[in-house]
Structure 1
């Protein structure tokens, strides 16, 4: 029986390989981890949102989730890229996975009673500020570790995937992430209503362990990288960091993408912070269906990545990027002004189709314009800039919707504007500006290098 199974695996196993074995393992591990993260963040949002229902500071408290993730990223990300370029990327990713699993499991000590009967009395006695503080602290710690994991993943992609297949690999990664979003959101929404928060914490920790195991199975030939002597290493960190910044400054493509991605992060920071209130208040969706409505439009990302894989060679990656950013912004503005669920879902679907196209090509664009030895630093710089932009948007949207714009209710013909609708419209405008800026900066280069970009 065992021999027969081995023969069947050898005969049909290649059908389950995406590009190559290493990429397939990375792809599966990333998707498992991503589903766990989305499920986890959905449950935390619902948990805080229901605890603070009808409280004016609820948007600010929910924005604290994003702020807790963004602040350490802003401080650590620039330097993390330097060490990612020095360390073995596969080993770095495994260490970060294990550590994040332990940190997430620590939240079981403050999670809701129900799934953890032993901790029920202790949990019930904990005041809300302590629970929120523990959540924010764990999110901040795991986010700090992600600043090493994420650029290592992107840099490793350039080593395990041939250059001519980078767009396809990026499209597969983006499309599967879009598909994973509704799975995590719906599981989070349904699970929280029936089981509480503890189960989501355990599943997210388990997803990190699965990712660790799959990354361990990759066969990557990396040089035995090691840091120099501690004194010399610390002294050269800023020098290495400056070299990465110079690479971006000297490249028109990288400079333009950095600014456009920062505008994207600003817009998404607003959208993500106010998603709970847009769906439950503006669209009048019950809390129990929040995860479903929040996740379903992401399925459009599958269609977007399918389209980009077939059009990149014809019209060029740069053209795809700025066109997709424009469409995403327009769809966001359209959606922000809606109060009908079906129409809003159509707008969300169009936005996700275009956004997935842009996300599928931005990674290969960066890799093609960056020397391999500096990929970690360049991706970390992008992460720092987008995190800072997202942090600003998260704070502003949470603060304004909780204070200055809290009582706003404007009626213009068939359009009703409250704080959420106004701020979400501004998010769409940020993406439109980013698309127009990219077009203006890259049109000459596109004409000169097309269809290679």
Structure 2
């Protein structure tokens, strides 16, 4: 099936290929794998919630899934970037796909009626999630690093737009199907589907034609001291490169601000603007719809205006929209605001990859992307914790009266998040002007 599909791609490039054969295979593999990941993650949350149904520890157990996924990004993310820079990219990606497929399948025995204590089931789930996430710290930077070999420089923005757009679409599809799959088919089928998605990615990436440099590359063994030295070199390079330093801070501020918005979205939507719980999904989906529109506009906008200016303006606009749409506490304004935020935020997200690749030599790409991923993950986790804590303690019961209405703790934290995102955009705008 797959060899025949690959021959069709090569024989009909204008009809089938977004950019070229290699990128199409990489894009398809990544998209299929991401749909499986989203389906798997949502299924795990439902599964753990069902295992602890009506128990007070259920929220903590579900948080454990998120924590198990995030910790590897913080603990090994930057170190993984060192190895990504040293190892052949295609072989690294295929190895990670194979290992992830095997790891996910280890959950199949405990998804059935096997008599196991609850604590043992949860421990196995957390360990598998952490291990899969650790392998992803190698896979994701490798996919971004190889873009420089696969895609011509003038088409990097288009490639990034297609990749980000597919990511938004994958989250929408995976989230929508997770509940249906879990209720109708059970946890075992969702586990099998995710393993199958890794297998599909493994096959498609294997059909890519490696460059001469990629074929000559070989995995290099090295000492821990050498790894740490190369990690420091990568961090020093980021610190000394204006464009990378600016993107790192701007993305961290955005992740922190959006983390606050995300963790409090349920309370804002259901309590502040009085939307029924049954319509909560609609408000959560409009940002994704806006994101798809934003990815479609990014390439066209960057072709007319310098990419750094588009990136900075999108961040500025996102911060303004968060503040402006929060204050009135009106459902229609909030719905429009979430849509616009999705559009401008994804425009900025599309441009991050090309801007990083253009500013980074090939031998440093893995370390730069890994460091960026670690910084944004840390910012998002801190925002999730601090947003919930401050809302429940320091600002609990605080009400600010304005002519437009009352602002409670959620409103105030949303305004603070918007200001942080705006400050990130302002910083980017000023720093990029210095470079000109």
> Normalised by the shorter chain, which TM-score bucket?
0.7 to 0.9
Q: What is the correspondence of 1:9-158 to structure 2 with a 5 Å cutoff?
A: 12=12, 14-47=14-47, 61-111=61-111, 119-120=112-113, 122=115, 126-127=117-118, 129-158=119-148
Q: 2:229 aligns to what? A: 239
2: CA distance, partners of 1:284 / 1:61: 28
Q: 1:256 aligns to what? A: 246
Q: 2:393 aligns to what? A: 404
Q: Conserved in 2, the CA contact under 8 Å of 1:327 and 1:354?
A: yes
Q: CA deviation at 1:411?
A: 6.9
1:357 aligned residue (347, 356, 361): 347
CA distance 1:265–1:301, change in 2 (3 Å)? same
2:374 is the counterpart of 1:384: yes
Q: 1:329 aligns to what? A: 319
More divergent stretch after superposition (57-66 vs 262-271): 57-66
Q: CA deviation at 1:193?
A: 4.7
2: CA distance, partners of 1:260 / 1:22: 31
Aligned length: 428
1:432 aligned residue (414, 418, 422): 422
Q: Conserved in 1, the CA contact under 8 Å of 2:65 and 2:129?
A: yes
Q: CA deviation at 1:148?
A: 0.4
CA distance 1:225–1:195, change in 2 (3 Å)? same
CA distance 1:418–1:214, change in 2 (3 Å)? farther
1: CA distance, partners of 2:16 / 2:136: 28
CA distance 1:206–1:169, change in 2 (3 Å)? same
**C-alpha distance after superposition, 1:249-283 (max 9, x if no partner):** 22111111111111122223334444555556665
2:309 is the counterpart of 1:319: yes
More divergent stretch after superposition (129-138 vs 145-154): 129-138
Q: CA deviation at 1:399?
A: 4.3
Q: TM-score, normalised by structure 1?
A: 0.83
1: CA distance, partners of 2:47 / 2:406: 29
More divergent stretch after superposition (299-308 vs 22-31): 299-308
CA distance 1:361–1:126, change in 2 (3 Å)? same
CA distance 1:284–1:199, change in 2 (3 Å)? farther
RMSD: 3.2
Q: What is the correspondence of 1:159-198 to structure 2 with a 5 Å cutoff?
A: 159-198=149-188
| Secondary structure in 2 matching 1:120 | coil
Q: 1:115 aligns to what? A: none
Q: Conserved in 2, the CA contact under 8 Å of 1:408 and 1:417?
A: no
More divergent stretch after superposition (295-304 vs 84-93): 295-304
Q: CA deviation at 1:215?
A: 0.7
**C-alpha distance after superposition, 1:164-215 (max 9, x if no partner):** 1111111111122222221112112443454454433222222111111111
Q: CA deviation at 1:95?
A: 1.0
1: CA distance, partners of 2:179 / 2:243: 40
Provide structure 2 residue ranges, at least 5 long, that are not aligned to the other structure. Answer: none
2: CA distance, partners of 1:9 / 1:379: 30
2: CA distance, partners of 1:104 / 1:7: 31
**C-alpha distance after superposition, 1:34-84 (max 9, x if no partner):** 222222233334455677788887665544333222221111111111111
More divergent stretch after superposition (421-430 vs 152-161): 421-430
CA distance 1:351–1:60, change in 2 (3 Å)? farther
1: CA distance, partners of 2:150 / 2:264: 38
| Secondary structure in 1 matching 2:385 | helix
**C-alpha distance after superposition, 1:294-350 (max 9, x if no partner):** 334312222212222112122111111111112222333455567665543322211
Q: CA deviation at 1:235?
A: 3.1
More divergent stretch after superposition (276-285 vs 175-184): 276-285
Q: Conserved in 1, the CA contact under 8 Å of 2:286 and 2:338?
A: no
CA distance 1:54–1:410, change in 2 (3 Å)? farther
**C-alpha distance after superposition, 1:405-424 (max 9, x if no partner):** 69647474565656555544
1: CA distance, partners of 2:105 / 2:411: 37
Q: 2:297 aligns to what? A: 307
